[in-house]
Amino acid sequence: MNKIAAVFSFLLCFSLALYAGDQINIIPYPQKMDIKPGHFKINSGTTVFADSGFEKLASGFQTRFKLVSGFQLSKNDEICTQQIRFEKANNLSEEGYSLSADSKNIVLKASTQAGMFYALQTLYQLMPVDIYGKELSERKKWTVPCVEIEDVPRFAYRGLHLDVSRHFFTVDEIKRYLDAMAIHKLNRFHWHLTDDQGWRIEIKKYPNLTKTGSHRIETLVGHYYENFPQRYDDDAYGGYYTQDEAREIVRYAAERNITVIPEIEMPGHASATIASYPFLSCTRQQINVAKKWGIFEDVYCTRDSVFNFLEDVLTEIMDIFPSEYIHIGGDECPKVRWHECPDCQKRIKLLGLKDEHELQSYFIQRIENFVNTKGRKIIGWDEILEGGLADNATVMSWRGVAGGIEAAKSSHNVIMTPGEFCYFDHYQDNPETEPTAIGGYTPLSKVYSFEPVPASFSAEEARYIIGAQANVWTEYLKQFSDVEYMVFPRIAALSEVLWTQSEYKNYDRFCQNMLTEFQRYKVLDINASKAFYGVSAQTVSVSADKVQFILRTDDSKAVIHYNLDDSQVSLKSSVYKSPVTIHKNTVIHARSFEGKKEVGKELIQKLAVSKISGKKPVSSVPIFKNDAVLQQLTDGIYGGTKSGNNWIQIGGNSDRELVYDLGSVMQVHVVSVSILNKPAICGIYPFGIIVLLSEDGVDFVETAREKSEKVYDSIIRIYRPEIFFPYKKARYVKIVFLNGGNVFDLNGNTRDSVLFLDEIEIN
Ligand code: ACM
Ligand code: ZN
């Protein structure tokens, strides 16, 4: 390269960097985007042009712009310069659009309302975040960077769900939810309207559904497995939507290109319905609207009168909701009542069915036939595959992706919503410092990594994966701000999974764009989780006397500072640059800083290092079929009280033992273990712990014994007994946990106690 070319290419790179510095932060990321130099400046002389059909979207833009800027942009029916145009372009596909901004004009093109709506969402994201405000902003300059965008979604079904049964949210809150969905270019709102804990939609023919079924007398306190015995809050709880309110939601959603898909659960999760009309169950006995979470045995009977009821309900539902799809649930339906019910057994015999699973299949197919006669289709959770799938049903795969794969292979449409990636009731940050969630761990990066189409699928099979959805179950989300906390920012990650072709996805770029997305959330007053700004620690190699870990944050602007001496972090603490190795038990404190400002929570994480770090026991009683889990006992990471992660559970009524091989004979003097006491899941402290040592792995000598003095303990806590003894030579260490005996479970039944074990250290 000659000198002039070198200078030129330097200038070119520099100017490209400058445009990139314009920070175009569109989420979900468009399929094709060319950033150009320069800006379009919106001023009082800017006019708005709209082709026929797009006037309403254009005037919505004018109204929003006036609100935040004070400028009333005038409408102009002639094409001219210094104009923002909403143009019809019939060559663009259903939800696709193009957006072209240069210094003279901004041109949005689409063939449909949906496409133009998305073009407008992109225009808003190209503008300063104040565009999302509720009032006049201080901003004087309104510019849009010059750019060429051509965009179209990858998936047709881009869903977000909300459970309004466990907790109820107002019409205004639902509208806020829909607003946020629209910004993320999501187009299906799955409204989970009925469940055991409350029926939430007015049905004119059956007034008891709301009179009785929309209220519960009280609600479980804390996590399901938190208190032993369980406790209740003594506060009546209820709420429902009138049909007029539901219609208003449908209308409001439609304006945002969102279809509302109502879910009426059947045949299980029906306690609230049966409480309203006991004739619906097999026993016909009065029950209460459920006041705790879970799965309940009283489900709809399969008598004709029950189908008549459900058809009446669905008729009113289909009258309110124009959606092509009606969700009929189908998940988690226990079969015990059907097994004992003469009417259900008669039905099984009459139809020549094999068992209650086929009866469930009959139930769903009968409902499907009815829904189909009204020109609609059903969606059901993946349990509807059991006992035979209804002909035209779409399957929502939630227990992993296996159900979705099976359904797609038999030519049924599938919506992927596997718990691991799509359940936004899971934790997104360290469970020990987060508000109580149901469990699991689904951080932002995990959501972003989701690929809805199984890798093994042919192009033909892939066509059946119509999209994916995040589910928001609200057992532990009382307030709408709690819902927002769980949904944002994870929904931004899912929106990119659903919209952007996988080859254009890039987590680092997404995180960079999220910095602006958080500013939008701030203007919109959305209570988003700030886990993004925090620090997480991950071990990358674990071996005897040596653990290496990395620290990371999603905030690309941040520098991580950390200490290894269990003290609070400050700007004076070490700057994290590369993996850190430790040789003894260490409490890491870490925090990210943007400049001098602390951002995110401080991470406090204890890591264990001992002579058996990274080792699996050489033998165990009982024998583990999947002994890979035993690795967790020496992975350096301590289990917490709130999530099941890290603990291994050992049941049965024998004593339990583990034998570790240190690799060679050496001096040892202490064994320590972590034991979870959590009575609601029958986890208690063992009767005692014995340590035995051996040089040859054959003859073991009892060396120390911890005789448990602990009386029965009903509180959740972690015990970390350290069993010391004088220095002894050993190569093999056997640890025996004396069985804790029988305990009561949450239902008052006697069970074997369970040993929940984690980090074992030998030194
Ligand atoms: C479900 O989470 N029970 C569909
Ligand atoms: Zn029955």
Residues 52-64: tens digit of each pLDDT: 999 999 999 999 9
| Of the listed ranges 34-38, 255-259, 553-557, 645-649, the one predicted with least confidence | 645-649
Residues with Cβ within 8 Å of 130's Cβ and at least 6 positions away in sequence, in order, are 68, 137, 139, 523
Instruction: Return the residue whose CA atom lies nearest to atom 3 of ligand 1.
Output: 331
Intrachain domains 28-151 and 619-762 with the same fold? no
Residue type, 439: G
What average pLDDT does range 544-551 have in this prediction?
A: 98
Q: What residues act catalytically?
A: 195, 269, 332
Ligand 1 centroid to Cα of residue 448, in Å, is: 21
Q: Indicate the fold that domain 165-523 takes in CATH.
A: TIM Barrel (3.20.20)
What average pLDDT does range 524-546 have in this prediction?
A: 97
What does DSSP assign to residue 747? T
CB count in 10 Å sphere of residue 461: 16
What average pLDDT does range 403-414 have in this prediction?
A: 98
Residues linked to residue 756 through DSSP beta bridges, in sequence order: 649, 676
Please say if the pLDDT value at position 549 is more than 90: yes
Query: pLDDT, tens digit, for every residue of 204-222?
Result: 999 999 999 999 999 999 9
Please say whether the beta carbons of 278 and 287 come within 8 A.
Answer: yes
| Of the listed ranges 2-16, 418-432, 671-685, 727-741, the one predicted with least confidence | 2-16
Of 331, 385, 415, best ligand 1 pocket probe by most atoms within 8 Å of the beta carbon: 331
| Structure tokens belonging to residue 492 | 């931004």
User: Of all helices (H) and strands (E), which one includes residue 68?
Assistant: helix 55-69
With a pLDDT cut of 70, the percent of the chain lying above it is 97
Distances (CA, A) of 156 to 414, 475, 583: 11, 29, 52
- Which atom in ligand 1 lies closest to the alpha carbon of residue 419? 2
CA 668 vs. chain centroid, Å, equals 45
Q: Which ligand is nearest to the CA of 347?
A: 2
pLDDT category of residue 708 using cuts at 50, 70 and 90: confident
What is the Cα–Cα distance from 223 to 436, expressed in whole angstroms? Answer: 7
In the numeric block, the tokens 């539902």 are attached to 317
Residue of 244, 259, 110, 262 whose CA lies nearest to 194 = 262
Tell me if the bond preceding 28 is cis, omega within 30° of 0: yes
In the numeric block, the tokens 């509180």 are attached to 715
Ligand 1 centroid to Cα of residue 211, in Å, is: 26
Looking at residue 714, its pLDDT comes to: 87
CB under 6 Å to ligand 1: residues? 331-332, 381, 398
CATH architecture for the domain at 534-607: Sandwich (2.60)
Please say whether the beta carbons of 122 and 5 come within 8 A.
Answer: no
HSE-CB for 759 with a 13 A CA cutoff: 22
What does DSSP assign to residue 504? G
In the numeric block, the tokens 């700007």 are attached to 571
HSE-CB for 160 with a 13 A CA cutoff: 28
Mean of all residue pLDDT scores within the chain? 95
pLDDT category of residue 11 using cuts at 50, 70 and 90: very low
CATH class for the domain made up of 28-151: alpha beta
Residues linked to residue 192 through DSSP beta bridges, in sequence order: 163, 263
Query: pLDDT, tens digit, for every residue of 517-528?
Result: 999 999 999 999
What is the Cα–Cα distance from 85 to 512, expressed in whole angstroms? Answer: 30
- Which atom in ligand 1 lies closest to the alpha carbon of residue 329? 4
What is the Cα–Cα distance from 677 to 649, expressed in whole angstroms? Answer: 12
Query: pLDDT, tens digit, for every residue of 314-368?
Result: 999 999 999 999 999 999 999 999 999 999 999 999 999 999 999 999 999 999 9
- For 760, phi and psi rounded to 5 degrees? -110, 130
Query: pLDDT, tens digit, for every residue of 643-665?
Result: 777 899 999 999 999 999 999 99
Residue type, 757: L
Please say if the pLDDT value at position 14 is more than 50: no
For the chain, helix, strand, coil in percent to 5 are 30, 30, 40
- Which atom in ligand 1 lies closest to the alpha carbon of residue 269? 3
Q: Which ligand is nearest to the CA of 265?
A: 1
What is the Cα–Cα distance from 382 to 380, expressed in whole angstroms? Answer: 6
Of 293, 328, 332, best ligand 1 pocket probe by most atoms within 8 Å of the beta carbon: 332
Collapsing DSSP states into helix, strand and coil, what is residue 704?
strand
Residues linked to residue 645 through DSSP beta bridges, in sequence order: none
In the numeric block, the tokens 């019409």 are attached to 171
Ligand 2 centroid to Cα of residue 295, in Å, is: 17
CB count in 10 Å sphere of residue 304: 11
User: Of all helices (H) and strands (E), which one includes residue 59?
Assistant: helix 55-69
Q: Which ligand is nearest to the CA of 472?
A: 1
Collapsing DSSP states into helix, strand and coil, what is residue 544?
coil
What average pLDDT does range 79-103 have in this prediction?
A: 97
Residues linked to residue 674 through DSSP beta bridges, in sequence order: 758
Please say if the pLDDT value at position 20 is more than 70: no
Looking at residue 709, its pLDDT comes to: 67
Ligand 1 centroid to Cα of residue 331, in Å, is: 6
Of 398, 401, 474, best ligand 1 pocket probe by most atoms within 8 Å of the beta carbon: 398
Map out the domains of the chain as residue ranges.
28-151, 165-523, 534-607, 619-762
| Structure tokens belonging to residue 100 | 């072209």
With a pLDDT cut of 90, the percent of the chain lying above it is 94
Looking at residue 643, its pLDDT comes to: 72
Ordered DSSP codes for 28-62:
SPPSEEEEEEEEEEE-TT-EEEE-TT-HHHHHHHH
Q: What is the CA radius of gyration of the chain?
A: 30
Looking at residue 713, its pLDDT comes to: 84
Please say if the pLDDT value at position 461 is more than 90: yes
Looking at residue 22, its pLDDT comes to: 61
CATH architecture for the domain at 619-762: Sandwich (2.60)
Please say if the pLDDT value at position 1 is more than 70: no
Ligand 2 centroid to Cα of residue 278, in Å, is: 12
Of 263, 381, 386, best ligand 1 pocket probe by most atoms within 8 Å of the beta carbon: 381
Q: Which ligand is nearest to the CA of 297?
A: 2
What average pLDDT does range 593-608 have in this prediction?
A: 95
pLDDT category of residue 387 using cuts at 50, 70 and 90: confident
Residue type, 617: P
What does DSSP assign to residue 724? E
Residue of 489, 486, 388 whose CA lies nearest to 435 = 486
Please say if the pLDDT value at position 44 is more than 90: no
What does DSSP assign to residue 623? P
Residues found in the chain = 763
Collapsing DSSP states into helix, strand and coil, what is residue 480?
helix
Ligand 2 centroid to Cα of residue 196, in Å, is: 18
Please say whether the beta carbons of 113 and 88 come within 8 A.
Answer: no
Instruction: Return the residue whose CA atom lies nearest to atom 2 of ligand 1.
Output: 398
Q: ∠ CA 510-511-512 to the nearest 5 degrees?
A: 90
What letters, b where the CB count within 10 A reaches 16 and e where it falls short, cover 528-563? bbebbbbbbbebeebebeebbbebebbbeebebbbb
Sign of the alpha-carbon dihedral angle for 250, 67, 518, 500: positive
Residues linked to residue 588 through DSSP beta bridges, in sequence order: 605
- Which atom in ligand 1 lies closest to the alpha carbon of residue 473? 2
Ligand 2 centroid to Cα of residue 207, in Å, is: 23
